[in-house]
Chains A and B, each alone.
Chain A
Amino acid sequence: MHYFSFALFALVCGWLMLAAKTRRQVVAITVAGVLISTLVIAPPPAEAQGGIIQAIQAVLNVINGAIQTGLNAINTTRAAINNLYQNLIWPVQLINQARAQVVQMINQYRTLMASILNIDLHSATLATPQSLENAIRDHQVNNFSALTQAFGNTYGAIPSSTDASQADRDMSDLDDALTLDSLKTLKVSDSATDLELQAADSIETTAGKAAPGSAPFLTASAVASSIRSQALTQKMLAAELRHEAAHIAHQNGFRKRGAAFSTQLRGVIMNLLQHN
């Protein structure tokens, strides 16, 4: 910009010098040129740098004062957090101790518990009950027909319609059915319990190598497993409840039939008395 202004000024000034006729005009052009170049074209003088020392000192004061204090405070706090983590919240020594304890418990109890759970409970001595007992205790769910067959062989079939009243046949059938239902549920429960134990072993084994960050997974798994286990217990409880309900219903049926028989007997006696 300055060079452009200077070139323009030089052209104008040179042209005026060439065009000047008298010496007075030359002097006037010279004076005007000097004035213009001094007042208009010349750049303004730079300002003095008097306040820079104070400004630099102020910046240094901020750095050495507020910022240093803040950084020291952050440093102290982070160090305290680090100590808290390592010494109180997740002390490595205690973590390792807990892992070792889990492993020790596994070594101490797993085999023992497995041997207890695998104790042979078979007690029947004759062939037919043995067959039924084997079917009951085999933890399998794909042989319900064999169970039904063994049950029928052991306890007999429902009397035919010529051998018993319909009410007796119905009640016997339901009793047998609920018994079989409970036995089947028992087999299901045994099978599910095997799976639960398998899951428990997995959780236990993983717990022996767990870290605080992985513990929530294990805890959630344990919670889920526990709820499953409780559900199975309730299922068995429901089966037992059904069974006992059928038992007292059956006995109550005897009362009802006793009342009916009494009425029939009364009618028969009345008939006899009338005939006599």
Chain B
Amino acid sequence: MRQARELLMKGTSWIRGHKLRVILLSLVLTIAAPWPAEGQFSPCCAILAAGLSSISSALQSVIGGGLNQILGIDQSIQQFEQNFVWPQNLINQARSLVGNLQSIFNQIQTLTKIQVNSATLPNAQQLETNLLSRNANQIAQTSANYTALYGSVPAATDASQQVRDMVDMTDAAAQAAMKRAIEIDARQLHAVHTCLRSVRIHLVPGWAPRTGSLAQPSNGTTRAHLLCESNDLSKLGLAVRDPPGPDYRVADEQHQCGVGRKWCSQRVRRIQPDGPLGCSQRVVLHRHCADPVRGQPYGAWGCRQYSFCFGSCCKPGCQNRIQSEHVLTSLLVRSSPIHT
């Protein structure tokens, strides 16, 4: 304390002795001292504030108002879509319906697999097993089994040429009908199950459901489309696809049974509206379908109409071939008594 007082006394005496230096030093330091920033009340800042206020009010009125109007319309659209177009409860209801139908279809599939063989004697059993095999590869065995049971064409020494021709033709018709029956069984097992498992649903109204994927054997000119190819999966968006059920296994097994048969995929024509809005017609499977079955969507929104191919994805004439086979055998059945 004492030292400080002495130091203060010394400083005071030095300042009294060097008044000019102190004054000049104070002047320099005063000049060099950092001054506080200017306040925001200058005219320039007032202009800036007024401008920003104008911009703010313009943003609120022009942009905010416009966006609010758009928001109102969007909310209206959203409410409309949620309440009338895609109501959640109805979509869930439809989904549960699909689940129930899947169960029913599985039961039907089980029914169609029930064995109905009934023959008791070896030759008849052999032919019957062949006829009910549902396997197109077994068609090659049909003629041999048929001959084992019904006999062959009489030798030239046993019958006239006319009778032999008639017998041969009738045998041919009967065998063709049997082979066709095997083919039908095989085809419906292949195609129906394969098509059904890939029925897809597009949630956007106006998109028809599609059965995916048709395919045909590249070396078979007489066979119809059997298997199917996934088509445009990436474009389905919110598509819902039936889970692969037991059909998968059956179809795959049948597919593998086609030894020596080379399958190539065939792209399904993409569904496009070909009419004005509200009255559009779409082709679901193949345009070259012989007997398209026209389906009216339930609810008939805007009179839309979907057409889809006759079951089993027939190529043109597939159904007609069955019918012609049937007519041929019927004619032979009716004509036989006259000739015999």
Contact = CB atoms under 8 A, between A and B. Distances in A.
A252 interface: yes
B188 A234 contact: yes
Contacts of A221: 97-98, 101
Contact of B27 (A30, A85, A224, A258): A30
A186 to B, nearest CB: 10
Interface in A190-231: 191-192, 195-196, 198-199, 202-204, 206-207, 209-231
Given A216-B203, A223-B211, A85 B121 contact: no
B139 to A, nearest CB: 13
A26 B80 contact: no
B112 A241 contact: no
B27 A252 contact: no
A165 to B, nearest CB: 11
Contacts of B77: 78, 81-82, 85
Nearest to B38: A46
A213 B202 CA distance: 9
A225 B90 contact: no
Contact of B311 (A195, A198, A231): A231
Given A177-B118, A213-B85, A252-B150, A195 B298 contact: no
- Secondary structure type dominating chain B contacts: helix
A127 interface: no
B62 interface: yes
A210 B298 contact: yes
B167 A211 contact: no
Interface string A42-73: 11001011001101110110011001100110
Contacts of B80: 82, 85-86, 90
Given A10-B29, A174-B127, A249-B146, A17 B21 contact: yes
Interface in B94-124: 94-95, 97-98, 100-101, 104-105, 107-108, 111-112, 114, 116-121, 123-124
B155 to A, nearest CB: 8
B340 interface: yes
B329 interface: yes
A255 B167 contact: yes
Contacts of B70: 71, 74-75, 78
A46 B105 CA distance: 84
B290 interface: no
A36 B301 CA distance: 87
Contacts of A63: 55, 58-59, 62-63
B200 A220 contact: yes
Contact of B208 (A169, A203, A219): A219
A150 interface: no
Contact of B163 (A85, A167, A231, A255): A255
Contacts of B259: none
B54 A158 contact: no
Nearest to B51: A56
B195 interface: yes
B152 to A, nearest CB: 8
B28 A13 contact: yes
Nearest to A204: B298
A3 interface: yes
Interface stretch (B215-223, B261-269, B330-338): B330-338
B298 A17 contact: no
B28 A171 contact: no
B194 to A, nearest CB: 10
Which of A71, A204, A249 has the most chain B CB atoms closer than 10 A to its own CB?
Answer: A249
Contacts of A78: 70, 73-74, 77
Contact of B299 (A17, A171, A207, A247): A207
Contacts of A245: 173-175, 177-178, 181, 329
Nearest to B43: A49
A133 interface: no
Interface stretch (A94-102, A107-115, A116-124, A268-276): A94-102
B196 A224 contact: yes
Interface in A167-191: 167, 169-171, 173-174, 176-178, 180-181, 184-185, 188, 191
Contact of B153 (A33, A237, A256): A256
Interface in A125-177: 141, 144, 148, 158, 167, 169-171, 173-174, 176-177
Interface of B: 20-21, 24-25, 27-29, 31-34, 38, 44, 47-48, 51-52, 54-55, 58-59, 62-63, 66-67, 69-70, 73-74, 76-77, 80-81, 84-87, 90-91, 93-95, 97-98, 100-101, 104-105, 107-108, 111-112, 114, 116-121, 123-125, 127-128, 131-132, 146, 149-154, 157-159, 163, 166-167, 170-171, 173-175, 177-178, 180-182, 184-185, 187-188, 192, 195-196, 199-203, 205-209, 211, 240, 277-278, 284, 293, 295, 297-302, 306, 308, 310-312, 322, 325-326, 329-330, 332-333, 336-337, 339-340
Given A191-B111, A226-B311, A255-B167, 18 more contacts: A9-B29, A26-B21, A33-B25, A75-B73, A78-B70, A158-B120, A169-B121, A199-B100, A206-B97, A214-B87, A218-B97, A223-B308, A232-B108, A241-B181, A244-B330, A246-B174, A249-B150, A259-B154
14 contacts: A27-B24, A41-B34, A64-B62, A88-B278, A171-B149, A181-B116, A213-B86, A213-B87, A214-B91, A214-B94, A224-B199, A241-B181, A245-B174, A248-B333
Task: Give 6 nearest A-B pairs by CB, closest first.
Answer: A230-B311, A71-B66, A56-B51, A37-B32, A213-B86, A207-B298
